[in-house]
Structure formats: C-alpha cells, structure tokens
C-alpha cells in the first residue's frame, strides 16, 4: 500500500502530540492491553519509526521494571498465563520485538521458563473450555506459536490442539466452541463469533499454528468446520430495516436462529473486536492458506459492503481507539488491501484514518480520553501505532498482537 505521504507531516505532529501525553501518564499496571507491556511495544516501535534512542531506552526501562515487579511479586497478573494481562502477552511482545530485529537482548532463558509455566496452566484452561483469546487459553497458543525455537513447544502445541479439538461441538452446522470465561461473566452460553472472545479468534490462532506445520490435518478440519458454522448464519443485509451486518455477534443455539433475540445479534457494530470485519479477516486468511477461493469471494462481497457503512448508526464507531474505534477499522482495511489489492479497501483505509484525526482533535483535550492515554487497546498508545503505520515505509507488525498480521 502506498503511504500517506501527503499527510506525513500532519500525522507526525499528531503522533508527537500523543507522545507528550503518554510520556507523562503513569501506567496503570503491567498488562499488555492497558499497561506497561503494551507500552514496551509502543516505545520500541516509536524507536524504529523515529530512529531516536530515547524511545528504545524507555522500552528497556519498562522491561526492567516488569521483570523487577515479577521477582518481587508486585505484579500478580503476571503469575497468570492470559494474553491480555499475563505472562503469555509479555512473552509474545518480547518474542515479536526480537523476531522483528528491533531488540537484540537475549531473553531465551526467561522465555523458556514462561513456556513451561503457561503450558501447564493453559492445559487446565482448555479442559475447562476457557477458549477466550484475550483472557483464556487461546492467547497462550498464539504466544507459543512464536516459540518454536524452544524444542519443547511443538509438543506443547500438539497436546493443546488435541485437547481443544476434544472440547469442540460438532454437528451438521459445523464446528464451534464454548467459552466458559464469557459464559461466567455474561451469564450466557451463547456462541460468540467475534475475534476478541469468539470463534473467529480461535480459528485465526489455529491458522497461525497450521502455518508453522503443526497439527495441519486436525486444524484444517476444525477451521473448515468453524467456517461452515459461521457461514450457516450468513444472511443478506437490509439497510432499509436497519440490518447492517451479514453475520451475528453471538448465537443462542437453544432458540431458532431467526428468533427475535438472535436477529438482534445482527447488529450494526463494526470494530476490531466484533462485527463483519472479523469474519472477513478469517475468510481471506483461510482462503489463501487452504486454497479455497470461494471463501475469498464471500469476503469480497461482505467487505465491499462494509465500506458503505460510515456513520455512527451503521458502525457504532464513536471514538478513535483500536478495540471498537476508528483506528481499528483503518488497520483492518489496510490489511485487507494488502491481501486483495481491491481499491475499495484503500478508500476505506483513508476514510478511517481521516476520521481518527478528526476524533483526536477533541479526545486529546478531553480528561476522560487522556485518562486512558497509556493503554494499547483503548488508548492513545494503540492509536499512535496505527498512525505511524499509515506513513511508515516499513511494514510494522505491532498489530500481530491483534491477529491482523
């Protein structure tokens, strides 16, 4: 994709404005999505983009702080394996930065320890059907998929995938999984189809493992069945009646698929976390990996239709952050354009970058948004990474923590 050269000066000024806010914001905790781990990712990519050593120094300082907090038991979250707040998220960021050549610090000894700890604890989570990508077992599988330099990890992944497969629900509609974490929080056993907590996220992570040559036959069966399940709920859009989505957010299988409660789930949300963009990403990725062009055709149909959805009613996008804001939308369209070269995705990308800049005019002075400045998922940290990706001459892979690269 061509860079936004015409806007580079403007975007650089905006990123530096956000930097000034982030630098004086105390991190809330040691987590990936709202704390220091996310800021490690941020500062090292700022170092790569601006080529200024002070950002690398800040990243090293944050790593040292987290390691100290782990040693002194000041970071209880990091005793747990979860990707969003625990050990696997920390390990993933360190592995990503090393793989990208951004850091040359050797963390192999620590990471091998992390591998053993998260595997043991995550096996229990898989058995208990906690399939959540952010807060359960699947994020740990994502981390381990980067850790094949450790000879133990391939076997760990084989066991985890086999155990996960045994928990799957299989019938004529296809394959899907329970999520005990969400069921407990929401007091609902609906099947979630989203990226953050549901089937799209599970299948995307399995595709990462499949790409490494592990459990290929088993994963092909699960992913194909999962896509069949998702496609069985695909229904036409009808803007006139307020039905903007092709796919539901969740499904209650105890009721008819077209019951009022299930129809309500075909909502207008578009975002990183929920909505039709999740299914498009899955379909494009699986189509290329498995050689099924029909899935890409469906993704083209749905994707081109999402471009028409721009206002608040049609998207529920009301701010700029990654999770369900405008920069998350932009990053999806950037990756879709790279996958397909369809000009309509480039159009969508530029539109949502411009919307992000417009939102920031208010958000940078709003105390509520400034209070979340240091967060990756819902703050200025993630927004800044999205903005530098718009003008960088390099392909910045920070968004792999969000399954987008």
Decide if 143 contacts 95 (C-beta within 8 A): yes
* Half-sphere exposure for 164 (CA within 13 Å, toward CB): 31
Beta carbons of 179 and 197 less than 8 angstroms apart: yes
CA dihedral 244, 245, 249, 252 (to 10 degrees): 90
Structural contact between residues 47 and 53, judged by C-beta atoms closer than 8 angstroms = yes
β-strands 174-176, 250-251: how paired?
Answer: unpaired
Q: Which residue has the tokens 């992000």?
A: 356
Phi, psi of 54, rounded to the nearest 5 degrees: -65, -30
Helix (H) or strand (E) holding 174: strand 174-176
Number of H helices, E strands in the chain: 18, 4
Q: Is 63 left (phi over 0), alpha (psi -120 to 50) or beta?
A: alpha
How many Å separate Cα 29 from the centre of its chain? 20
Residues 6+ apart with CB under 8 A from 376: 32, 33, 34, 38, 39, 41, 42, 322, 382, 385, 401
C-alpha distances in Å from residue 382, one per residue of 325, 387, 389: 11, 9, 11
Q: Which two tokens stand for residue 341?
A: 């070269």
Rounded Cα–Cα distance for residues 297 and 373 (Å): 39
Q: Contact, 327 vs 320, CB < 8 A? A: yes
For the CA atoms of 325, 329, 335, 337, the dihedral, rounded to the nearest 10 degrees, stands at -160
215 carries a ligand binding annotation: no
Q: Is 304 annotated as a binding residue?
A: no
The CA distance from 358 to 352, in Å, is: 10
Q: Is 324 among the annotated ligand-binding positions?
A: yes
Residues annotated as binding site for Zn(2+)? 273, 323-324
Residues annotated as binding site? 273, 323-324
């Amino acid at each position: 994709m061509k860079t936004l050269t015409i806007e580079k000066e403007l975007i650089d000024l905006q990123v530096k404005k956000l930097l000034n806010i982030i630098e004086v914001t105390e991190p809330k905790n040691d987590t990936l999505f709202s704390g220091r781990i996310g800021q490690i990712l941020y500062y090292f990519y700022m170092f790569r983009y601006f080529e200024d050593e002070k950002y690398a120094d800040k990243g090293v300082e944050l790593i040292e702080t987290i390691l100290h907090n782990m040693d002194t038991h000041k970071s209880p979250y990091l005793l747990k394996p979860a990707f969003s707040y625990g050990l696997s998220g920390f390990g993933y960021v360190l592995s990503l930065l090393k793989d990208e050549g951004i850091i040359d610090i050797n963390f192999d000894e620590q990471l091998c320890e992390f591998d053993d700890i998260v595997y043991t604890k995550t096996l229990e989570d898989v058995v208990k059907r906690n399939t959540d990508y952010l807060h359960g077992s699947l994020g740990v599988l994502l981390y381990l998929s980067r850790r094949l330099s450790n000879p133990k990890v391939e076997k760990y992944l084989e066991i985890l995938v086999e155990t996960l497969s045994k928990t799957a629900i299989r019938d004529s509609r296809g394959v899907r999984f329970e999520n005990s974490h969400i069921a407990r929080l929401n007091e609902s056993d609906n099947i979630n189809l989203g990226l953050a907590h549901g089937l799209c996220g599970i299948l995307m992570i399995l595709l990462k493992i499949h790409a490494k040559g592990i459990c290929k036959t088993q994963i092909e069966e699960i992913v194909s069945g999962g896509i069949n399940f998702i496609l069985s709920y695909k229904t036409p859009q009808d803007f006139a009646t307020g039905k903007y989505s092709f796919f539901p957010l969740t499904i209650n299988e105890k009721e008819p698929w077209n019951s009022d409660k299930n129809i309500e789930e075909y909502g207008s949300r578009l975002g990183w976390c929920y909505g039709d963009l999740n299914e498009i990403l899955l379909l494009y990725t699986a189509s290329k990996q498995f050689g099924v062009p029909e899935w890409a055709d469906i993704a083209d149909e749905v994707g081109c239709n999402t471009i028409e959805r721009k206002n608040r009613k049609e998207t529920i996008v009301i701010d700029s952050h990654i999770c369900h804001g405008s920069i998350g939308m932009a990053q999806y369209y950037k990756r879709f354009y790279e996958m397909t070269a369809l000009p309509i995705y480039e159009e969508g990308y530029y539109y949502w970058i411009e919307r992000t800049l417009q939102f920031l005019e208010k958000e940078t002075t709003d105390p509520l948004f400034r209070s979340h400045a240091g967060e990756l998922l819902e703050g200025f940290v993630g927004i800044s990474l999205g903005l530098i990706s718009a003008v960088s001459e390099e392909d910045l892979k920070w968004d792999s923590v969000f399954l987008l690269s």
